[in-house]
């Protein structure tokens, strides 16, 4: 469980920077968090599970921040375009 959590955490960090499949990073990150929590029960691999859980949490948080920023930019572009078109009388 710990190794899977670490691998999924790293993969979700990689998917964060890919343009059209960034949402996949959130799904993989959530699975990584769950596996990290389950993996922390094994005392021998507790550190690796914690590292996987931290990577997954950071990736999910960054993905959500990126989505919010993209939504804000799209909203700003839409409103400025509408105001420019109305000023032109179109």
**Residue 56 half-sphere exposure toward CB, CA atoms < 13 A:** 26
- First-to-last alpha carbon distance for the chain, in angstroms, is 59
What is the rounded distance in angstroms from the CA atom of residue 66 to the CA atom of residue 45? 32
Instruction: Quote the tokens at residue 25.
Output: 């990073």
- Alpha helices, DSSP H only, in the chain? 2-16, 22-39, 46-88
19 vs 57, which has greater pLDDT?
Answer: 57
Q: Dihedral angle at the C-alpha atoms of 7, 67, 18, 82, nearest 10 degrees?
A: 170
Given a cut of 90, whether residue 85 has pLDDT beyond it is: no
Res 81: pLDDT: 87
Res 80: pLDDT: 86
Given a cut of 80, whether residue 1 has pLDDT beyond it is: yes
Reported as a pLDDT band with limits 50, 70 and 90, residue 89 is confident
Res 14: pLDDT: 92
């Amino acid at each position: 469980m710990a190794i899977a959590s670490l691998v999924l955490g790293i993969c979700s960090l990689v998917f964060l920077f890919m343009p059209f499949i960034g949402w996949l990073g959130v799904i993989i990150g959530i699975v990584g968090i769950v596996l990290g929590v389950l993996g922390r029960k094994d005392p021998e691999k507790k550190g690796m599970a914690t590292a996987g859980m931290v990577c997954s949490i950071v990736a999910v948080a960054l993905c959500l921040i990126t989505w919010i920023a993209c939504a804000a930019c799209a909203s700003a572009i839409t409103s400025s375009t509408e105001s420019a078109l109305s000023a032109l009388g179109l």
